[in-house]
Amino acid sequence: MASTVDQVTEPVAEHGEGPVWAPEWPGVRWVDMLAGDVLELDGGEVRRHHVGAVAAALRPGAGGGVVLALERGFALTDAALTDVRPLGEVWADAGVRMNEGGCDPDGRFYCGSMAYDATPGAAGLYRLDPDGTVTTVLTGVTISNGLAWSPDGGTAYYVDTPTGRIDAFDYAAAAGLTDRRPAVTIPAEVGSPDGLTVDAEGNLWVALWGGGAVHCYTPAGELVTRAELPVTQVTACTFGGADLSELYVTTSRLGVEKGTQPEAGGLFRLRPGVRGLPAHRFSGC
């Protein structure tokens, strides 16, 4: 079972999302998505970097830079997040924004979208190649969320939140994501699947929006761990720390009644007794 959950920061984010760890950074980074800010934990201090109208996701680059997903497109920036260079809009519809993403084992960055009003089927999943080419990977998505790969890189796990599932794809560099099938079905009464990560043993750790917890499942869909948080809107998780033994969990204040859940929007951490995998890096920066 997972260890006790500790609160690491004050409620610094309105809508915390997308944590990621890179050893060269001062600490874990995550986004306050609708504020357009990347947050960075350095010891006990939280630094805030404004990068755009929306900051949906980020990943470290193989060359020391950082790749970002902004409101309707991608951007590159330096390690210090001071020189943001947008790559252009992927779509023009102002009612749809980027939401969550990650890199594949071959150094390409993906981010999925959602309509601001969560219109069913209005969103997609997009891939940014190192040469700047953008490819539409999935259409008909509603709320694109977690995306992570198995330790051997041959399976990708993906969440479109309203489905109540984590789906698996076969993955290869040339073919991309193929053979989509359900991997984990999450009962509606325990929450909705949001961001996810995979540990070194191949198990899936998923944040439960509205469920106040992180669940760990085997690839076969068996629930093996439940870690409860003191807030309902749990958004995403990632392994970090020097030996990748700490699970960082982001939370949100969206949908939380004012004056309740004072910890909502804080960053939390647990030590679940397993290690994570290093974040895949974007090869184009």
For residue range 108-123, what is the model confidence (pLDDT) as tens digits?
999 999 999 999 999 9
Q: Given pLDDT bands bounded at 50, 70 and 90, which one contains residue 4?
A: confident
Average pLDDT, the chain: 97
Averaged pLDDT for residues 244-261? 97
Position 2 scores a pLDDT of 60
Characterize 204-219 residue by residue with b for buried, 16 or more Cβ atoms within 10 angstroms of its Cβ, and e for exposed. bbbbbbbbbbbbbbeb
Q: What is the mean pLDDT of residues 126-142?
A: 98
Q: Name the pLDDT band for 262 (thresholds 50, 70, 90).
A: very high
Question: What pLDDT is attached to residue 175?
Answer: 97
Give CA–CA dist 128/86, Å, rounded. Answer: 12
Domain boundaries, the chain: 6-270
Rg of the chain on CA atoms, in Å: 17
Q: Is a pLDDT exceeding 80 seen at residue 3?
A: no
Could you read off the pLDDT of 61-94 as tens digits, one per residue? Answer: 999 999 999 999 999 999 999 999 999 999 999 9
- Express each pLDDT in 150-177 by its tens digit: 999 999 999 999 999 999 999 999 999 9
Over 70: is that where the pLDDT of 124 sits?
A: yes
pLDDT score of 1 more than 70: no
Which residues participate in catalysis according to the annotation? 194
Alpha-carbon distances of 14 from 39, 107, 234, 256, rounded to whole Å: 12, 30, 12, 10
CATH number of 6-270: 2.120.10.30
Tokens of 223: 């629930």
Supply the DSSP string of 214-271, one letter for each residue: EEEE-TTS-EEEEEE-SSSBEEEEEEESTTS-EEEEEEB-TTPPTTS-TTTT-EEEE-
